[in-house]
Amino acid sequence: MNAPIGRLADSMTLPQPYLLFLGDTTEASYAKTAFGLADWAGDRCTGEWAIDGCTVSTGLPRLSPAEARAAGARSLVIGVANQGGIIGEAWVAVLVEAMEAGLDIVSGLHTKLTGVPALVEAARRTGQRLIDIRTPPPAIPVGTGRKRSGKRLLTVGTDCALGKKYTALALHRAFLARGLDADFRATGQTGIMIAGGGMPMDAVVSDFEAGAAEMLSPDAPADHWDVIEGQGSIFNPAYAPVSLGLLHGSQPDVFVVCHDPTRTVILGMESFALPSVDEVIDLTIRLGSRTNPAIRCGGVSFNTSGYDAAAAAALMAAESDRLGLPVADPIRGGAGFDALVENILA
């Protein structure tokens, strides 16, 4: 149980700037990679491209692969994270076109670029690279459960694709602004592309999830914070194993619950009701205390993009009073978000 915990390589180098590919998606939640890069690494994004049927946009300039290459782009990033992580058949011609225009292809989908013969042939012919982000490092150990030094925060959610990454990035930025020693620890494809490194948790064999989380957040100085991006939800019928392994392995001292108050059912699984924030707090403490008995909830992060400012403020104030915890939207910021940060650090 006291075996040493491995460490990740510090970073990866990706060809930048990016052209963001939105495919033919009609659901903004499935384009979270594109939105995440546009919002948090916009200076590294030249524009966006899509095919017929797409109704989603990041707001970046619409550029063809050839136009993006002429503007300085070096790679096309698949900005869609659809159910199952598949490469749509209708996408292949565009990806080949991008390689012919001089762009490498970057993907974080479960389906590997190198598993699509037409893409492999185009890469061979053009000399462009196929870069699969969702590839775990070798020799991940099983979890030890050993308590590690340093402080850890984990974002958890009532569902997928509702703000765990954005919340972690905003909290990390707030910690740095307060002069704290802190790292953002990415666990998903978009976070890894933003941070330049991390652990693709949902590509790890389930027996090694906790060990992968231990590698992601190793021993650190006592006053150091690792702000760990959450994955899925422990209430999600499909993705709960990833969430639980990450919870046990990251051993958070503090967690923040992320929630979209406009949702009533689990995304893509409409027969399952969304759990309440209260249920998530209770179960996270009960399960998380297995590896950190001192775990506590620091507050709640609401995605209020579906509300105007006044309605969002009223809703968060009411929920804060009901829960006895700070409730804030990290994108809106303000006094509520400051209160959330202070309660985490208390």
pLDDT per residue of the chain (346 residues) written in tens, 0 to 9:
233 444 554 456 789 999 999 999 998 888 989 999 999 999 999 999 999 999 999 999 999 999 999 999 999 999 998 777 889 889 999 999 999 999 999 999 989 999 999 999 999 999 999 999 999 999 999 999 999 999 999 999 999 989 999 999 999 999 999 999 999 999 999 999 998 889 999 999 999 999 999 999 999 999 999 999 999 999 999 999 999 999 999 999 999 999 999 999 999 899 999 999 999 999 999 999 999 999 999 999 999 999 999 999 999 999 999 999 999 999 999 999 999 999 999 9
Chain center to CA of 93: 28
Q: What is the pLDDT of residue 2?
A: 33
Residues 312, 304 contacting (CB under 8 angstroms): yes
Strand, coil or helix: 114: helix
Residues 19, 47 contacting (CB under 8 angstroms): yes
End-to-end CA distance of the chain: 31
Provide φ and ψ at 46, rounded to 5°: -85, -35
Provide φ and ψ at 292, rounded to 5°: -145, 95
Q: Nearest-CA neighbor of 7 among 217, 245, 224, 225?
A: 217
| 192 Cβ contact list (under 8 Å, min separation 6) | 12, 108, 133, 186, 198, 199, 200
Identical fold, 18-132 and 151-345: yes
Q: What is the pLDDT of residue 12?
A: 61
Q: What is the pLDDT of residue 337?
A: 98
Q: May I ask the CATH architecture of the domain 151-345?
A: 3-Layer(aba) Sandwich (3.40)
Which residue in the block uniquely carries the two structure tokens 């006291």?
2
Q: What is the pLDDT of residue 5?
A: 45
Q: What is the pLDDT of residue 235?
A: 97
Distance CA(285)–CA(280), nearest Å, equals 8
Domain ranges of the chain: 18-132, 151-345
The CATH superfamily label for domain 18-132 reads NAD(P)-binding Rossmann-like Domain (3.40.50.720)
Chain center to CA of 162: 10
Distance CA(237)–CA(269), nearest Å, equals 9
Q: What is the pLDDT of residue 32?
A: 87
